[in-house]
Amino acid sequence: MRNRASCSNLASLVSLLLVAACSTTPAVTREPEQSTHVVEADGKGESTKSIVGPSGGAPVETAPPNVPQFKPAFAGQTRAPGVHTKTAFRAVEIASGLDLPWALAFLPDGRMLVTEKHVGRLSILSVEGKRSAPVAGVPRVDGRDQGGLLDVVTSPDYAKTRLVYFSYYEPREGGNGLAVARAKLIDSATPKLEGVQVIYRMQPTLDSTMHAGGRIVFAPDGTLFITQGERSILPGRVQARDLGSDFGKLVRLLPDGTIPKDNPFVDRKGARPEIWTLGHRNVLGAALDAQNRLWVAEMGPRGGDELNLIERGKDYGWPTIGYGEEYSGEPIHQTTQAPGLEQPRYYWDPVISPGALMIYSGALFPEWKGNFFIAGLSSKALIRLVMADDRVVGEERLLTDRDERIRDVTQGPDGALYVLTDGSSAKLLKLMP
């Protein structure tokens, strides 16, 4: 088998690459943003008030690029003009002490499901942030590094079925791999999952603790998308554009895990029928826009984080093209453009490390309608993007005064933004006008 051969041929390189890949993304050295926000105490955790700043101009990124020889494919593909929100807002801490949380999902009554990745714990948070007993019945997870219990979402028909879907790095014989399961949530004082059914298992199995992907997005047509990474280590990376492998692919399934008949590669010999798009590095952020088109925020190497508009069957190029380089400074790509390979709508060099993507559709912040919000890990910011004609025309970094890695951002049913910070004692913040 080609994959297996690749593994053994490249085995000597693997340990070296692991060392490089497992080191955390280099911290972005950045002077504090101009003082657009002040921190105040309001008696209930910190609050952050926005001050109306000057209108846009210089890009928010002032550090030099890691790969200056790579130039954008079109004007505005990186370093869009900086903008300042005109809407004042507060960030109120509603929960703390979360152990490496990864995702948040709302129940119909406003309570929230929250995952904590390394310990593989699912809990329910009250509207006030009080945590339930752990939800029993979560499968065993491989919680090393970037693995563990990852996303959680409620089924679109949750009110009727009580089904929740969740993703995790699944320990397997000979390695691990991303899995997605669904189960009925028994929502009681001692909550539990009932009838856990694994609907998807990334193939092949490989032992990697990195680049798990794992974001789950339901589309209005009843299908669901799952984002995946290419596992980081070279035997995985070389499969990112290989249709025989799930690594580095977005997949599209029906809610029971079966394959939609209109997936792009169902009739192609040797291709895995679940694949929707290929050539991704590690996609943790994914969201539908007002036209129900899927956008993803993709973790690049050093330099080269990407925002991509996802279109059926297309190849997003990793690792053949891109705007980054190895953490060692060695080149990955010969070039940034190639026929048949999609260009990112926007990229960042230096990176922001996108942990999540949310496209705002609420009424609480009229100014922010249609804006893209990205949880920035190494950039320690909530990144706001103003869009026009599917391109970024303004960029802002919010919450920079907190100096905290941002893991996740979700829009609540009340139109507020709910932000999870990262780390072993992480917080849930609610952003309100």
- Which residues are at the interface with Ca ion (CB under 5 A)? 316-317
**The amino acid at 166:** F
CB nearer to Ca ion: give 129 or 317. 317
Smallest distance from Ca ion to CB 278, Å: 10
Q: How far is the CB of 238 from Ca ion (least distance, A)?
A: 16
Phi-psi group of 313: left, alpha or beta (phi > 0 → left; psi -120 to 50 → alpha; rest → beta):
left
Please give the Cα distance from 33 to 399 (Å, whole number): 10
Burial class (CB in 10 A: 0-12, 13-18, 19+), 189: exposed
**In angstroms, what is the minimal distance from the CB of 332 to Ca ion?**
11
Q: Active site includes 333? A: no
Q: Alpha helix (H) ranges present in 246-332? A: none
217-256 burial by CB neighbour count: b if 16+ within 10 A, else e?
bbeeeebbbbbbbbbbbbbbbbbbbbbbbbbbbbbbbebe
Q: How far is the CB of 273 from Ca ion (least distance, A)?
A: 23
Residue 235 or 317: the one with the smaller Cβ distance to Ca ion is: 317
Q: Within its chain, how far is the Cα of 267 from the centroid?
A: 30
- Using an 8 Å Cβ cutoff, are 164 and 156 in contact? no
> For Ca ion, which is the closer residue by CB, 316 or 346?
316
Which residue, 214 or 301, is less far from Ca ion as judged by CB?
301
Q: Identify whether the C-beta of residue 375 lies closer than 8 Å to the C-beta of residue 419.
A: yes
Q: Measure the CA–CA gap between 303 and 349, rounded to whole angstroms.
A: 4
Burial of residue 130 (CB within 10 Å: 0-12, 13-18, 19+) is exposed
**Least Å from the CB of residue 388 to Ca ion:** 22
Task: Specify the residue, 316 or 372, whose C-beta has the smaller distance to Ca ion.
Answer: 316
Q: What is the DSSP letter of 341?
A: B
Smallest separation, CB 322 to Ca ion (Å): 5
Q: What are the CA-CA distances from residue 49 to residues 25, 84, 341 (Å)?
A: 30, 13, 42
> 264 or 317: whose CB is closer to Ca ion?
317
List the catalytic residue out of 37, 84, 211, 333.
211
Instruction: Give catalytic residues, as residue numbers.
Output: 211
